[in-house]
Amino acid sequence: MIKQGISRDEDAVSAAVATVLLFGGVISIISLMLMSMTPVIQELEGAVKRHDMEAQMTVLAHEANILAESGMPGDMTKVEMIPLDGDLGWDRTRGGMWYSASWHEDNSFRIRDGLDMDRTIDIRHSESKIEALCYEDLRLGPGRPFIFSPPGGIDSILVTPKHGLTIPLGPVNIVQEGVEYLVNIGEVLRLDGDKNFSSSHDLTGMMISGEGGIMLAQPSLLDPSTGQGRHWALPLPSGLTDVEFLSTSNLLIEWTIDGITNSDVSIKSDKLHLANSWTKQFNLSEDKLVEFRTNANSNLIVQTTTSGSTMLIGQDSSMLSKEFLAPASDGTVIFTNPGQEATIISWRNGGLTLGANSTTSIAWPDGEIDNSAIVKGSENFLLEWSESDSGMTYLAAGNTGRLSGQTFLTNISKTNSVNLVGYEAEWNITAEGRVTLTSGDAIEVLQSQGNDGLLRLEDEGAQRCIGIDMTASGWIQTEIPWENMAGRMQNELFRAWKEGTHPSSFSIELIGQVDDSTHGTIATAWAFHLSRLTYEFETSISGLEIAWTGGAVVTNHPEIKAEVILPPSDKGGPGPRFSVTIPSMHPSFTSTSGQGNMELELKLEMRYSLASSKAFDLRRGWQGPYGDAIAQYSSRALDQSEDWIVYPGRLDLLTDYVGWVPIPSHGPSEAIWHTGGEPIQFSLQISSIDVDISEANS
């Protein structure tokens, strides 16, 4: 056997090892390159996702704005959206906005943290003393009916759908004790007076006890600085009803029944301390809607029998005032002074002195009065109009001048019923008839005598007035009169919005010192929770989105930094004018979410007119992660102002610019509409739009 030798080629081994190491090195380098390129690829992919959805959201915003501003209830439009890779869904709790408008010169009103679901809210008004705040639940959004709880002693209730800028599509759904009633605009329904009920739309109505009585009717849209109006749509009962208009101007009055319109003219008296009164009696064969229109601001008193009483409103929109218009009709006026100082009350060829915390009454009209009389006082007083001892009326609070508050002066010879207004309250009643809130939110007092009475219908969320009694240059923290929902689950919050235990949108009336009035309406603010339609996606960073909110299209791509793609729609000019219609979209109960080819059906449910008046200070603020960016973007044209460049932050020297100006010292998400000091013709509307999202191929 031949033995063969084995040799080892060291160079070949080294070459093989080197090849393997080189291959491994190349693989490692490629892996590192891929790892470093992955974020770049993801960012490029994210840019594609963003720009694709940005275009789709812009189309959606355009369609929503057209529907909100120009559509009629029931109008629909469809938008197809195709998310590339992210998810389409709703964020219903992290978005919102507010507006505020002052009705008197050199006054402002600001709010902060009013949409964070708890009971606290910060307000700021540094120009004068704040006496009170009055809140009202606006009940905006689907599945949030108006809830009505009539007091005891009511026999029947006349209701009709409330007139507004637009009318609801189809009949209004009213539910009482499980029974549903469908009522169209222009129709009148009579309900039982001893049962609560709800309505899908706000109602105008009157609560009747016995043969009825007297009430001060509220206009369809009132002038916030005077509390008067020019249009009323009232359900009047069958039989005889007297109406009396009171005004300081010449009047052209039109009334419409069953589509037939008539008119009359009333000329203001030229005598000193007299105003203008126009009366008419209607004899209706059945309950009917009667529509009234006047050419000038007026008060309207309705009387269905020869008995009853009602509190009158002063010329400054408060029931606690120094100047009233008294009716020309025969009756009795009751003067009440809830203050701590005597007041001298005067009218044409007459007058009296009323001590502190006292009440007196006189037969009316007094002396040579043959028209509506202007009644003035040196201090605040309350004026009640009555035709007999029988009747019922809600008393005005001595600290707010409205129908709810913390202190009341009652007539102990009559029946006085105290009711909670808000979430919680405790009160004390003295033997002299003084009712005082000891803790909690607010109360109301219903005073009655006999079996007859007539009251204006109000829903549960209206006129919740809280006393402030404070002068401050900074922020004042106060509480809203609803339940605290901070930290609750979403389903609990949605239930609270539906049941009215916490508002999804509300208005605030600022009451305080203005001119010679101590309880005038200085300003009003409106706050809204707005649902956000979001498209969520990821790049190398998670938590990115493109969202539609309140008419604006926003994003936090690429680096979680808020950016505005499309600002909210509003209209300024020509001149010192500003109008806005807020599109408020809400998901339907059957809406889907996620990925796929989605079809969005937008349906305008209702457009509400919240304000249409002359304002002197107009502000807007945003709640949520995009407020600062929207405020800055809306004022981008300010960079072209030479005055702003020379005098930054000086609104008093800004003469070459009209538009939004952010106020960084006040909060970057807040902006003021600047007109160079001129009064603003202000119009605020909000459109409720239901959105149903479904897969396009289904």
Confirm whether 176 is domain-assigned. yes
Confirm whether 245 is domain-assigned. yes
Amino acid identity at 347? W
The predicted structure's pLDDT at residue 594: 79
Give the confidence band of 692 by pLDDT, cuts at 50, 70, 90: very high
Claim to verify: residue 121 and residue 184 sit in the same structural domain: no
Residue 665 has pLDDT above 50, yes or no: yes
Residues 669, 621 contacting (CB under 8 angstroms): yes
Average pLDDT of 404-416? 94
| Three-class secondary structure assignment of 357-412 | CEEEEEEECCCCCCCCEEEEEEEEEEEEEECCCCEEEECCCCCCCCCCECEEECCC
User: What is the DSSP code (8-state) at residue 636?
Assistant: G
pLDDT tens sequence across 251-304? 999 999 999 999 999 999 889 999 999 999 999 999 999 999 999 999 999 999
Confirm whether 394 is domain-assigned. yes
Average pLDDT of 190-211? 96
Residues 131, 400 contacting (CB under 8 angstroms): yes
Claim to verify: residue 325 and residue 281 sit in the same structural domain: yes
Q: Look at 123-137, 156-170, 392-406, 492-506 and tell me which has the smallest mean pLDDT.
A: 156-170
Claim to verify: residue 291 and residue 358 sit in the same structural domain: yes
User: What is the DSSP code (8-state) at residue 651?
Assistant: G
- State how far the Cα of 109 lies from the Cα of 122, in Å rounded to an integer: 11
Strands (E), 249-287: 251-257, 260-266, 276-284
- State how far the Cα of 324 lies from the Cα of 320, in Å rounded to an integer: 10
Q: Is there a cis peptide before residue 365, judged by omega within 30 degrees of 0? A: yes
Residues 447, 472 contacting (CB under 8 angstroms): no
Amino acid identity at 205? G
The Cα-based distances of 278 to 306, 307, 597 in angstroms read 18, 20, 63
Higher pLDDT: 506 or 636? It is 506
- State how far the Cα of 260 lies from the Cα of 251, in Å rounded to an integer: 20
pLDDT tens sequence across 544-565? 899 999 999 999 988 888 899 9
Claim to verify: residue 513 and residue 567 sit in the same structural domain: yes
Give the confidence band of 230 by pLDDT, cuts at 50, 70, 90: very high
Q: Look at 242-246, 280-284, 304-308 and tell me which has the smallest mean pLDDT.
A: 304-308
Residue finishing a domain among 437, 459, 481:
459
Residue finishing a domain among 459, 485, 505:
459
Residue 325 has pLDDT above 50, yes or no: yes
Average pLDDT of 140-155? 92
Q: Which of 595, 600, 607 is nearest to 691 (CA)?
A: 600
The predicted structure's pLDDT at residue 1: 46
Confirm whether 32 is domain-assigned. no
The alpha carbon dihedral of 292, 295, 297, 303 has a sign of negative
Claim to verify: residue 621 and residue 667 sit in the same structural domain: yes
Claim to verify: residue 511 and residue 394 sit in the same structural domain: no
Amino acid identity at 387? E
The predicted structure's pLDDT at residue 44: 65
Which residues fall within 8 angstroms of residue 398, CB to CB, at 6 or more apart? 320, 338, 339, 382, 405, 407, 408, 409
Claim to verify: residue 433 and residue 528 sit in the same structural domain: no
Domain tally for the chain?
2
- State how far the Cα of 232 lies from the Cα of 218, in Å rounded to an integer: 7
Containing structural domain, residue 583: 47-131+469-695
Claim to verify: residue 307 and residue 433 sit in the same structural domain: yes
Confirm whether 522 is domain-assigned. yes
Q: Is the pTM of this model over 0.85?
A: yes
174, two tokens? 């009213």
C-alpha atoms less than 13 angstroms from C-alpha of 232 in its C-beta half-sphere: 27
Look at the chain and count its residues.
Answer: 698
546, two tokens? 């493109």
Average pLDDT of 17-33? 77
- State how far the Cα of 618 lies from the Cα of 524, in Å rounded to an integer: 10
Q: Position of tokens 């998901």?
A: 587
pLDDT tens sequence across 58-98? 999 999 999 999 998 889 999 999 887 788 999 888 889 99
Claim to verify: residue 334 and residue 437 sit in the same structural domain: yes
99, two tokens? 């507006």
- State how far the Cα of 362 lies from the Cα of 87, in Å rounded to an integer: 71
Claim to verify: residue 328 and residue 427 sit in the same structural domain: yes
Average pLDDT of 411-416? 92
The predicted structure's pLDDT at residue 389: 81
The predicted structure's pLDDT at residue 346: 95
Give the confidence band of 695 by pLDDT, cuts at 50, 70, 90: confident
Residue 42 has pLDDT above 70, yes or no: no
| Three-class secondary structure assignment of 342-356 | CEEEEECCEEEEECC
314, two tokens? 């002063």
Confirm whether 14 is domain-assigned. no
Q: Is there a cis peptide before residue 73, judged by omega within 30 degrees of 0? A: no
Confirm whether 296 is domain-assigned. yes
Residue finishing a domain among 412, 437, 459:
459
DSSP of 571-599, one letter per residue? EE-SSSEEEEEEEEEEE-TT---BSS-EE
Q: Position of tokens 């190491």?
A: 21
Highest mean pLDDT among 142-146, 436-440, 660-664: 436-440
- State how far the Cα of 460 lies from the Cα of 41, in Å rounded to an integer: 57
Claim to verify: residue 73 and residue 181 sit in the same structural domain: no
Claim to verify: residue 87 and residue 109 sit in the same structural domain: yes
Q: Which of 375, 427, 419 is nearest to 395 (CA)?
A: 419
Confirm whether 652 is domain-assigned. yes
Q: Are strands 544-549 and 552-555 parallel, antiparallel or unpaired?
A: antiparallel
